[in-house]
């Protein structure tokens, strides 16, 4: 049966819709990186390179767009962390490598971390892949006796809050040696998690694999 004229196949329409949606998310991520979440919907649509009316076909409010953009980033970051630690068995070593590579990534990709910093402590409570993965790692550390037997939520806010603080410190550009600082903080956080200092230091002195780049929206269902 011939296709009706002038009606693009549904796949094409869905793809276009996805492209527009992604253009909005990219524009939102850029604006957040510039600290400009007060930008008007008009400016956002201009950045996205789409028509003004399009916005409301995709989002109810500006806040919804910004939140979805941050969630997409967190998903990408969770995927990245899974990839860089997949072969490690020890939860303490996995934590040390995740943390140390994150610090190195934050030096190179301030643009990707700025929206996360902008969202503040809220990111630790967004029910998405990253939070679940972090809690699972902490629980594994407790179960294997590597970490102290404390409420995983408490350990999560400590480690997550310290990481946010470090990324913010790195983003200020005033830190003389961000890699050394990152490793030092990883050592101290391992002590917080229950390791003794010598053990913690041995883990954070190990050679690191090269830092893979974080690809925006790797894990985003809309990309």
**Which residues contact a copy of itself by CB under 8 A?**
38, 117-122, 124-125, 148, 150-151, 153-169, 172, 175, 181, 184-185, 188-189, 191-194, 197
For residue 112, how far is the Cα from the chain centroid? 8
Nearest-5° angle of CA 117, CA 119, CA 121? 85
- Minimum distance from residue 134 beta carbon to a copy of itself (Å): 12
| The three-state (H, E, C) secondary structure of 21-83, written as one string | HHHHHHHHHHHHHCCCCCCCHHHHHHHHCCCHHHHHHHCCCHHHHHHHHHHHHHHHHHHHHHH
Eight-state DSSP code of residue 147: S
Residue with Cβ nearer a copy of itself (73 or 155): 155
Residue with Cβ nearer a copy of itself (88 or 184): 184
Residue with Cβ nearer a copy of itself (192 or 208): 192
Residue with Cβ nearer a copy of itself (171 or 211): 171
- Minimum distance from residue 48 beta carbon to a copy of itself (Å): 20
- Minimum distance from residue 213 beta carbon to a copy of itself (Å): 24
């Amino acid at each position: 049966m011939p296709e009706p004229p002038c009606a693009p196949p549904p796949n094409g329409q869905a793809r276009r819709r996805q492209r527009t949606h992604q253009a909005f998310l990219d524009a939102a991520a850029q604006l957040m990186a510039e600290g400009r979440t007060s930008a008007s919907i008009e400016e956002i649509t201009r950045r996205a390179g789409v028509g003004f009316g399009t916005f409301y076909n995709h989002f109810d409010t500006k806040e919804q767009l910004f939140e979805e953009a941050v969630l997409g980033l967190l998903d990408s970051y969770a995927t990245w962390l899974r990839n860089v630690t997949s072969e490690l068995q020890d939860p303490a070593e996995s934590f040390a490598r995740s943390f140390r590579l994150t610090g190195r990534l934050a030096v190179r990709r301030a643009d990707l971390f700025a929206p996360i910093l902008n969202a503040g402590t809220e990111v630790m409570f967004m029910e998405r892949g990253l939070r679940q993965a972090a809690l699972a790692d902490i629980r594994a550390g407790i179960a294997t006796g590597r970490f102290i037997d404390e409420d995983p939520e408490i350990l999560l806010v400590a480690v997550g809050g310290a990481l946010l603080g470090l990324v913010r410190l790195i983003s200020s550009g005033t830190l003389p040696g961000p890699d050394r600082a990152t490793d030092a903080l990883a050592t101290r956080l391992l002590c917080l998690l229950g390791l003794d200092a010598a053990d913690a230091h041995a883990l954070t002195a190990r050679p690191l694999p090269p830092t893979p780049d974080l690809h925006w929206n790797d894990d985003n269902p809309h990309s």
